[in-house]
Amino acid sequence: MATYSIILYEDNTLLSESIQSMFRLSEKVELIGAFENPKKATLHIKELKPDLLIMDIDMPGMSGIEAVKQIRSIDKEIPILMLTVFDDNDHVFEAICAGASGYLLKKHISNRLFSAIDEVLEGGAPMSPSVARMVLASMHQKAHSNNPYHLTPKESEVLTSLSKGNSYKLIADQLAISIDTVRSHIRKIYGKLHVHSQTEAVSKAINEKLV
């Protein structure tokens, strides 16, 4: 049976000891470190090389959210499972957006800890539907802000090529489409950007960093 090495960050002594006891009874995991705060988490990762981090969100000295941000600056891959008292709150959302792999409510630790660990190590992201909706909404908002005119990928390619001063024929050759298709894309681009000429379209694209 595979054994996974884990570091635990939890400032509640009773809860930390309870989790450590659960790990000692399991053949699947090996606890290689337990700490009251994550101030030295990046050092722990480099020295102990754990397979997984379990981290409380609210801790003195440094929050779990700040720790996740620091960890992700040096390690994009290590799974980080957050522990939290409350579901569906901004802290959980912040932690996920900062790079946490998922989270577990503390009230569910006794019966869901090992399944959450398995899920995270298998590439999953345990989280409640409410927080998942918040994450998706944030992604959609970001996508919209990066593409406020809802240009399709092909329209963006045409606009980028147009901004380089390329002719319709050259654009058609580059994108392997017909000149008529290029003209059709450009008409749609003009409509979406609310412009009436190539000069206006290119100027707007450059000024608003669309290309």
- What CATH number is given to the structural domain containing 58? 3.40.50.2300
Q: Are residues 9 and 61 in the same domain?
A: yes
Domain C-terminal end among 71, 99, 131: 131
Q: How many domains does the chain have?
A: 2
Q: What is the SS3 assignment for 26?
A: coil
Backbone phi and psi for residue 207, each to the nearest 5 degrees, phi listed first: -65, -35
What are the structure tokens assigned to 19, written together?
A: 């989790």
Q: Are residues 195 and 125 in the same domain?
A: no
One-letter amino acid for residue 171 of the chain: I
pTM score, two decimals? 0.66
One-letter amino acid for residue 12 of the chain: N
Q: How many helices (H) and strands (E) does the chain have?
A: 10, 5
Q: What is the pLDDT of residue 143?
A: 61
Answer for the pair 65, 90: CB distance below 8 angstroms, yes or no: no
The CA–CA distances, whole Å, from 18 to 54, 116, 187 equal: 14, 17, 65
Identify the domain containing residue 179 by its residue range.
Answer: 153-207
- What CATH number is given to the structural domain containing 173? 1.10.10.10
Adjacent-strand bridge partners of 52: 6
Q: What is the pLDDT of residue 137?
A: 75
Walk along the chain (211 residues) and give the pLDDT tens digit of each residue. Answer: 568 999 999 999 999 999 999 999 999 899 999 999 999 999 999 999 999 999 999 998 899 999 999 999 999 999 999 999 887 677 888 898 899 999 999 999 999 999 999 999 999 988 877 777 777 777 767 666 667 788 888 999 999 999 989 999 999 999 999 999 999 999 999 999 999 988 889 888 888 888 8
CA 28/CA 6 separation, integer angstroms: 11
